[in-house]
Structure 1
């Protein structure tokens, strides 16, 4: 049954609670929402020529509207209502998990928006003209802004104005994240502190650093660079114009009241105007979240030392390399022809700087902490007493709603591997035109980090998604006769250097020294600081507190650890090629939006070469498909192993390295994985191409990319692929348990190698077999049932996996090495896992785990052929019967676990509720909350496209 979206709060009778609150604030009901200008008699502006012919669709839950006034938030908390268009895409997005098996092309719009250009006259909901040279038209169904400018400046001004209409609070939030000022802006909740600290470790920029990025674009970006900055300034002007109007009109986002920035009664306070460098701060956040790659060399070094301690130097290194899986021959590839060597292990590595055992300590970040350490309950009591005289009691439902923070604490610290793409050449489709189903997995937030928009103006013609706050261009979407999207590639663009410490007076330095050697000189480290203080507010009852964050910066990057190497004190520093250059990519995005630049696959690849983020880019028009891997790949010195720390010496620096602006030689475009008109492309953050070394651990024989590759390959062999068929392939993979499809068969072979005598275990194995035979899915028995088919098997697998991995590898590796390798790669990432990179209720699953290790080890024990095996067998010491015993023992423990033990519950779910444990929750970033939807492992924003014609 189709979910009904609640009518907007301004269109229904308010309860006495909400009315009382509004009256007490002196605002009446006008605060419920900004009333848009009514649709005008004149027709909407003419749309650009659209060559998709109604065959382009997209979806971005929960809805286009991302701002909510204080009364909207109160009504949501009390009545469960939502502002118009804030949740109307959530139901259709969620319904695909149960509706995909019967999907046909004519039913795609049941689950996706029509993403055609323009708005038909009978679908115009509102028309706004923030200035004479731009019109913002919103459609009735989704409320997406369609921005039509007669001048380029007006187009960009309109883009900023519309972005502020839809995401003002979110943009403000993230500019403060980017500046390391989240707690002082949004409160001192533990999650806010952790997030702020994690990001400051990666990008502790000063205002001068932001200005330097602007200056670099002006100096090196040519005419396009100058135009990009002019576009960005017009965008900022549009943001500020709406923010001022909303503040003066008292329909600004209610979060400003909840966090104490604006007084609800007097309207005193301000929304701090945005400036151009705020966009640089926002771009640095986007780059850190989705466009980074590599790092973790210190942790890799520690596991290598543990392996060498366990097995000796030679064998330990071989064991470590087999778990590293840099270039596993069984890994699924995006580009299947050709080789693109990059970042592989040198035959004889030089300059490796392994720490002395036991010498590594993490660099201290937080200093001078005061207050902010009381319990949540105690803080609430004090906040209530302090604020009762400042706000009416009717706002009680809003007290403490940010006590758990405004964003996930580990948003930056956890590994990123997101987004997927399925693209099929026209040679294998029913129409003869390419078909693509693709989009980014950026998590689930309310409102989303992305926002939908259409931009039409001189030199700009595109519709799609942009990260809120940097939406001067569409970043993922479609042009007049082409569409594009990206997945995170995360190739290694980050290195760790062991910087020798020194003392200016020539004395022996300590490990805590703040001077270091660079090209023979003893230089002081640059100390970067940020002092933040917070106090309790209505929304955040954390006790008042403050602290100072401190990071040291060297010519070789930021200090992350201290250690000794061969007895010499060193600081380990992280150097990322895109550090101080996150904004440079603006030129590539400008090109993607320019219909005069992108005209075919080759020009698309040329545009993406100007993007320095580590992304896989996919393209489809009516004739061609294409792929290109972007990223600022540094040219490393010969024989440097990028997976391990290297000595900070001239011989091991990046070629042509200049620390002044952090520039170096980059690998040329021809050396990046790329392709045009391959029969099909898939990507789910898997290995890109032969020779292109994976940046992290565990990219081997089993990867969630296999879930796509197996299905799309079968479609291509059959031929006649349609949009619906490719969407079904994506959706089926999105509800499939990777372990159940690609690892459980080997587990069952081992268990069935002898009869199973224990009746309870025999029953458990039968249930697992039935589940595997049915497709190993985690899907409801029927829409809305909140009960999985094969629920017992799913529960058994969830309980068994971490136990079986430990039983298989723990005895052979030993505790120290097993723990060190788990620090490199989490063991499990099931949907319900509260640990691992995705956390709970996050949708994206099965990216990181020991899937390949288990698969390769079991096939070795079974005597099967394994390309690129682990260096030695582990399960049962390599004996099949002993391996079987270990697996059965762990299975018996798993079967005995109750549902409540497997799914312990949280603030959103009761213990034992399997469906709820998996369910996707739109994490509240603002004041609104939304309904749960069934788990599905798919992009947050997604397009389905098939162009009928070309210019």
Structure 2
């Protein structure tokens, strides 16, 4: 949360009498005006009919739907914020998509095609005349109209000129997300604390992102200039669109300032005075868009990295087992090209970042020599131990980077297997749960643009995920490795390094952030300094010695200094004259340099393409480990002045057209495509989709409702219980279970598996799980059994090092897991594949790509059974309060609440929690019956 309202202030206004007194004390005329007047002049504008041209170009026939909780309106006046904080009152359209989204969890089992829009919005183009809530010509312009519908308040922007269209997109974005956009442009610049106050969570946010993109203002501008210069006429058009979009944002700032309906957070953070209206809201400029893009790119579009941690765990394995056996053990846990991994592309081989036969240039650190490069420094220039770094940075990472870790799924079925003969898609990104949401919905119709869907706030000059006139597209994070770590040899001192034989000074980029107390933040006035050392090989992240030589480890990613380049790809996806089929879609996706899996469907075809600038590495370089910063090991064709290189050609990226079906849930893309994340093995949450869609395709006659049901069913499944628990129970039941405690636990777990192994409410709104005891037992058992299964064989040091690479658990309630609590997305990262392979080996089953040895119980069935029963008894004895210890939102022992999803506040409005579902945040359901 960017700022805090003091509890005493809220306590004082919790009763109607006290609230009335508060209004009087805070200038009642201003605050009541904020309550009675709309958030924007759009609501008071004249009603108008929908533009018939948009509807005429809609080929979806009412069969396109979407949803984006909590709601379209992400702005609130000061009075609305105070009412929400005191009484829970919600501004109009702030949470009206949250209920339908939540209700799918209990309503999907009886879903039919005609009930889909009970849980989704109608995503048809235009607004029927009887559903128009408001019509606005922003700033009095005659070349653009913003129409909002009654059900959701989504803006439908129609322009007669390109400039007017983009102006309207910017104006509508500011109407819905001005505060959030302002927060994130400051996060991207590492300047959140001067903007929103010195609360430690603010420091954590700016530190988390600025260390990955420590750009100067000149760097931001250079990226814009480069994107324009390298993309010809489309680059020039993108710049013109961005400037028109900015004009729209700034026009809204002026209007809301003079009309006093700007977001109330500006008052609560001291930027505006609620009585005099003194103060300013800073206008947006072109470099703000790059700063925003750097945050989104860091969250969702930059796979790879982690080479230093990989090296540390490899050294631990070699110390435990010796070099040869330790390397073998490490490789077996890495699963960099596991033959049992579920794939998105079923046929063909797409080698990338594969293990070289004879690695060259590897620069492993000396054992114990690695230290992380400090980011925060005190006023004397010494490295500081920062509270923000140690505590709230972790909280911030759990809140926002959970979106990156838990992103997105897709289910796409070819028309060969559908009831209608037309392809069907259910897909969307998992961008986390926030209030307001990072994404916003919009429809844009204008010269060269015709699309509806979701875009990141502040980057919504185009629809980034959505539908066109007769096609739809979406993305999931792919995570392939576009980041490498280099060991630069130091010379002269700790701040000079050898670059191609010449001792070269590092570039120091620093930022001093000062803040003062605000009306909503009781943090004392203060300041602190962030500092990053940059080299031609990227920013310094660690220091170490290699063979006794002092080195700095740097991180270089192909999208570094290229955050703006992808704009042309999104422009193409919005252009109906460009995308006329799957091949055009793939060409557009090629222009996006972030690491995404892209999916497409129209009335005849489906398609897939994996995007990203995949650098061509020097022969023999192993992308898993640091390499020496020497010319022989640099990316081929690398130009350090522009950070450009040779990239693998489009044909080498996993791609496909008209495959029987596609699924993606951040799983492995294709055979031999070595992806960066750990844990892509025999059990992955992608299996939950693949198993269900494969059955539907085999039966044939797939409908939209059936595909939604498959997604929703997988969204409630406990991956451990569905794919691993049956094998664990086979070991336990290999002999009669005589211990009464263990037998009772086994019976409960078996009953849960037989019932479908899902985390579902007993009935809608019950806030209690069916099979609650079995769920509690598995939640308690999993970390115990993993530790008891592997730590004796690995040793505590190696076990801990492997944990640093891949956490053992990511259940919905696992606050200790990588996504943190209440984050929704679950089961992406964990040791399920390791347990699965090890248990199958102990059972004597065939295992492809197995671990280096049998671990459970020393590798014997009886020993493994003893380990499992012992840990199961311990787990069964844990109380609900021990398994679910409670937090600021939930009482200890409240299992449902521990799992529940909370829209994490990024502003002043809070929303109610909803039952857990493991599904995309924004989601589309599409089936086009016709084509242009």
TM beyond 0.5? yes
| 913 and 151 in structure 1: CA distance in 2 versus 1, 3 angstrom threshold | same
* Post-superposition CA distance 1:794-821 (Å, at most 9, x none): 0000000000000000000000000000
| 80 and 432 in structure 1: CA distance in 2 versus 1, 3 angstrom threshold | same
Local SS of the residue matching 1:893: helix
Would you say the 8 A contact 2:228–2:238 is kept in 1? no
Distance apart, 1:677 and its partner CA: 0.3
Would you say the 8 A contact 1:374–1:543 is kept in 2? no
Distance apart, 1:540 and its partner CA: 2.1
Distance apart, 1:15 and its partner CA: 4.1
Partner of 2:593: 612
Residue 76, structure 1, aligned to residue 65, structure 2: no
| 79 and 291 in structure 1: CA distance in 2 versus 1, 3 angstrom threshold | same
Distance apart, 1:947 and its partner CA: 0.4
Residue 526, structure 1, aligned to residue 499, structure 2: no
Equivalent-residue separation in structure 2 for 1:611 and 1:62 (angstroms): 28
| 827 and 374 in structure 1: CA distance in 2 versus 1, 3 angstrom threshold | closer
Partner of 2:732: 751
Partner of 2:340: 330
Partner of 1:379: none
Partner of 2:10: none
| 147 and 372 in structure 1: CA distance in 2 versus 1, 3 angstrom threshold | farther
Would you say the 8 A contact 1:354–1:645 is kept in 2? yes
Equivalent-residue separation in structure 2 for 1:270 and 1:450 (angstroms): 26
Would you say the 8 A contact 2:204–2:393 is kept in 1? no
Q: Give the alignment partner of residue 34 of structure 2, picking from 19, 24, 31.
A: 31
Residue 187, structure 1, aligned to residue 197, structure 2: yes
Partner of 1:428: 417
Distance apart, 1:18 and its partner CA: 4.1
Would you say the 8 A contact 1:39–1:125 is kept in 2? no
- After superposition, the CA RMSD in angstroms is 1.9
Q: Give the alignment partner of residue 453 of structure 1, picking from 442, 453, 456.
A: 442
Partner of 2:234: 224
Partner of 1:489: 478
Distance apart, 1:295 and its partner CA: 0.2
Equivalent-residue separation in structure 2 for 1:123 and 1:178 (angstroms): 38
Q: Give the alignment partner of residue 281 of structure 1, picking from 287, 291, 296.
A: 291
Q: Give the alignment partner of residue 108 of structure 1, picking from 109, 113, 116.
A: 116
Distance apart, 1:413 and its partner CA: 8.7
Q: What does residue range 189-204 of structure 1 map to in structure 2 within 5 Å?
A: 189-204=199-214
Equivalent-residue separation in structure 2 for 1:330 and 1:151 (angstroms): 53
Q: Give the alignment partner of residue 240 of structure 1, picking from 246, 250, 261.
A: 250
Q: What does residue range 93-492 of structure 1 map to in structure 2 within 5 Å?
A: 93-130=101-138, 131-368=141-378, 411-412=400-401, 416-492=405-481
Equivalent-residue separation in structure 2 for 1:660 and 1:575 (angstroms): 13
Partner of 1:384: none
Residue 691, structure 1, aligned to residue 672, structure 2: yes
Equivalent-residue separation in structure 2 for 1:101 and 1:128 (angstroms): 41
Structure 2: runs of 5 or more not aligned? 1-13
Distance apart, 1:405 and its partner CA: 11
Partner of 2:924: 943
Distance apart, 1:545 and its partner CA: 2.2
Q: 925-934 or 539-548: which moved more?
A: 539-548
| 42 and 94 in structure 1: CA distance in 2 versus 1, 3 angstrom threshold | closer
Q: 182-191 or 823-832: which moved more?
A: 182-191
Equivalent-residue separation in structure 2 for 1:760 and 1:224 (angstroms): 68
Distance apart, 1:696 and its partner CA: 2.1
* Post-superposition CA distance 1:556-602 (Å, at most 9, x none): 11100000001110000000000000110000000000000000000
| 406 and 304 in structure 1: CA distance in 2 versus 1, 3 angstrom threshold | closer
Equivalent-residue separation in structure 2 for 1:415 and 1:465 (angstroms): 17
Distance apart, 1:30 and its partner CA: 1.1
| 407 and 255 in structure 1: CA distance in 2 versus 1, 3 angstrom threshold | farther
Structure 1: runs of 5 or more not aligned? 1-12, 377-402, 504-508
Equivalent-residue separation in structure 2 for 1:673 and 1:228 (angstroms): 28
Partner of 1:902: 883
Partner of 1:664: 645
Equivalent-residue separation in structure 2 for 1:24 and 1:459 (angstroms): 52
Equivalent-residue separation in structure 2 for 1:674 and 1:98 (angstroms): 36
* Post-superposition CA distance 1:617-642 (Å, at most 9, x none): 00000000000000010000001000
Distance apart, 1:19 and its partner CA: 4.1
* Post-superposition CA distance 1:264-291 (Å, at most 9, x none): 1111111100000000000111100000
Distance apart, 1:109 and its partner CA: 0.8
Under a length normalisation based on structure 1, what TM-score does the superposition of the two structures give? 0.93
Distance apart, 1:368 and its partner CA: 1.2
Distance apart, 1:544 and its partner CA: 2.3
Distance apart, 1:142 and its partner CA: 0.4
Q: What does residue range 35-74 of structure 1 map to in structure 2 within 5 Å?
A: 36-38=42-44, 40=46, 42-48=48-54, 49-74=57-82
Equivalent-residue separation in structure 2 for 1:410 and 1:528 (angstroms): 27
Would you say the 8 A contact 1:47–1:117 is kept in 2? no
Local SS of the residue matching 1:840: coil
Would you say the 8 A contact 1:356–1:566 is kept in 2? yes
* Post-superposition CA distance 1:381-425 (Å, at most 9, x none): xxxxxxxxxxxxxxxxxxxxxx99996566349962410000000
Aligned residues: 906
Local SS of the residue matching 1:515: strand
Partner of 1:711: 692
Equivalent-residue separation in structure 2 for 1:604 and 1:483 (angstroms): 10
Equivalent-residue separation in structure 2 for 1:336 and 1:540 (angstroms): 54
Local SS of the residue matching 2:576: coil
Q: What does residue range 863-878 of structure 1 map to in structure 2 within 5 Å?
A: 863-878=844-859
Would you say the 8 A contact 2:815–2:821 is kept in 1? yes
Equivalent-residue separation in structure 2 for 1:372 and 1:249 (angstroms): 45
Under a length normalisation based on structure 2, what TM-score does the superposition of the two structures give? 0.95
Partner of 2:6: none
Equivalent-residue separation in structure 1 for 2:787 and 2:639 (angstroms): 46
Equivalent-residue separation in structure 1 for 2:723 and 2:570 (angstroms): 38
Would you say the 8 A contact 2:600–2:608 is kept in 1? yes
